[in-house]
Structure 1
Amino acid sequence: MKHFKILLVLGMLATAVAASAQETFDATLYNGRPTYDNGDPKDTAKVRVYLPKESEATGRAVVICPGGGYDHLAIKKEGYDWAEFFQNNGIAAIVLKYRMPHGNPDVPISDAEQAMKLVRMNAKGWHIDLNNVGIMGFSAGGHLASTIATQSTGDAKPNFQILFYPVITMMEGYGHEGSFHNFLGDNDGKKYQKRYSSDMHVTRVTPRAFIALSDDDNVVPPANGVNYYMELYRNDVRASLHVYPSGGHGWGSNLKFKYHDEMMLDFKAWLRSF
């Protein structure tokens, strides 16, 4: 009997430890076929979920959209590495492996919206506050994140947005040529360019934003992020813009980025501000 009690106590302790530990797991984004098809059956949408310890959970969550010019995903330095940072700071992180558009904008947009909805559907079990779910994006992923922030509604609408060296505009000649062609494909007329230019869709109910970029970015013109900030400011949306003197494009989580430490201090301060 004594031996049985010891085993029982040990079992209960193991269960308690498991319940309080960090959790990381993969999940499919859709049950069945997605609404929109990009023509590539091997390109599937999914997420990797990083949950903090229950005792450390702040209730905040962020869906992360890596960049890659709508051609591929820099999913480690602009996804998994950042997810670990959030997880270690009590914030649930959901890294989105979205599908490439191949000229159909609805494909990645629907994936990002579904990821937002997935987080809110699991809010109770994941210890997340329904009203504290944001979206984060890098480069082309920043365009996707800002599109969701400015145009999505209901459970797909984020409460805040985090954009690193983002593509914002789809106006030809002002954004990123590769992202432009991969995202719009043949739908590249002025109507579609304006429809998917996030700076043209900012309103007073657009969620607050953190924007970071480098002054010497020669891949995505810095004016993308700066003009977006100006539209947020013009519409009385709380936003924080950080332009670092150098660093180019695509530094993500790279510790070799000269202003990494300053950037992290700025970012942590912003996260504490609300």
Structure 2
Amino acid sequence: MKRLKKILFTAFMAAVPVLLPAQKVFDMNLWQGGAPNSNGDTGDTAKVRVYLPSAKEATGRAVVICPGGGYQHLAMEHEGYQWGPFFNNMGIAAIVLKYRMPHGNPDVPLSDAEEAIRLVRRNAAQWGVNTGEVGIMGSSAGGHLASMVATRSVKDARPDFQILFYPVITMMPDITHKGSHDNLLGKEPKKKTEREYSNDIQVSRVTPRAFIALSDDDHAVLPANGVSYYTELYRHDVPASLHVFPSGGHGWGIRESFKYHVEMELMLRAWLRSF
């Protein structure tokens, strides 16, 4: 009986994921030779915080994380830094991006996100990363930035996969998040510009695979954003996974107070292990 209990206890402990501390964490400026584009804010500097798993646990995969904040500020903790240990525990390097605010110039955050992906690939050998397994993740307005990179960036700035939480996708006035729209494009952009930065319209057959999660009762960023994006991915034969939780509202990130926190993590883990 004692032996049986010992065996069962050992099996249980083996099934419980161990939260390993990041082997190495460090900050660095994103741009070493001066940032391109300008948002008129000289004090707004793009930075990254890099979380590297131990060499023993590293899988070679990495993800650039773009927190949300309506293109006005950044929710750096629960949509950024607090994700580091989660990914490191899976052997994935996490690079949290503090991108510059657009103030009406969308090229500012876009260039930061693209450079963050290039930065990971330039340091691939040193950081234990496979250059063909660099993804991008974003929440809310950060999800718009991530999907913007996923649908338009090319060559060494193109991500290999995307993870989107309750994302802003469209810039069309009837569905978009008004704050993100106004901060990114200005209050009175041309219709052509709104269409250009509506990322569901930009999906193609080469758009990278996606994981999308949101809440049905999100009144800040309408669920139609993420659902429309998934529909276009499906229509273009891009592998995608859409998860709509019954409740939770907006902005839960990796907070344990989110009712479906455990389920969300399990779904994301399963998806990441599926390819």
Indicate whether the TM-score tops 0.5.
yes
Deviation at 1:52, TM superposition (A): 0.3
Equivalence for 2:8: none
Take 2:269 and 2:173, find their aligned partners in 1: how far apart are those partners? 35
| Contact preservation (8 Å) 1:103, 1:187 | no
The aligned runs of 1:97-116 (5 Å cut-off) are: 97-116=98-117
Take 1:236 and 1:64, find their aligned partners in 2: how far apart are those partners? 25
Whether 1:89 aligns to 2:90 is yes
Classify the secondary structure of the residue corresponding to 2:182. Answer: helix
Take 1:198 and 1:27, find their aligned partners in 2: how far apart are those partners? 29
Deviation at 1:171, TM superposition (A): 0.8
Equivalence for 2:24: 23
Equivalence for 1:11: none
Equivalence for 2:59: 58
Which deviates further from its counterpart, 103-112 or 180-189?
Answer: 180-189
Which residue identity does 1:183 align to in structure 2?
L
Classify the secondary structure of the residue corresponding to 1:219. Answer: coil
State the superposition RMSD in angstroms: 0.9
Deviation at 1:93, TM superposition (A): 0.4
Deviation at 1:32, TM superposition (A): 2.4
The aligned runs of 1:190-269 (5 Å cut-off) are: 190-269=191-270
Question: Structure 2 stretches of 5 or more lacking a match?
Answer: 1-21
Q: CA-to-partner distance for each residue in 1:151-183, whole Å, 9 max, x for gaps?
A: 000110000000000000011121100000000
TM-score of the aligned structures, taking structure 1 as reference length = 0.91
Equivalence for 1:117: 118
Take 1:238 and 1:141, find their aligned partners in 2: how far apart are those partners? 21
- Structure with bigger helix share is 1
Take 1:142 and 1:255, find their aligned partners in 2: how far apart are those partners? 20
Deviation at 1:187, TM superposition (A): 6.2
Deviation at 1:41, TM superposition (A): 1.0
Equivalence for 1:16: none
Take 1:190 and 1:71, find their aligned partners in 2: how far apart are those partners? 22
Question: Structure 1 stretches of 5 or more lacking a match?
Answer: 1-20
Which residue identity does 2:224 align to in structure 1?
A
TM-score of the aligned structures, taking structure 2 as reference length = 0.91
Q: 4+ residue runs of structure 1 moved beyond 2 angstroms? A: none
Query: How many matched pairs?
Result: 254
Deviation at 1:266, TM superposition (A): 0.8
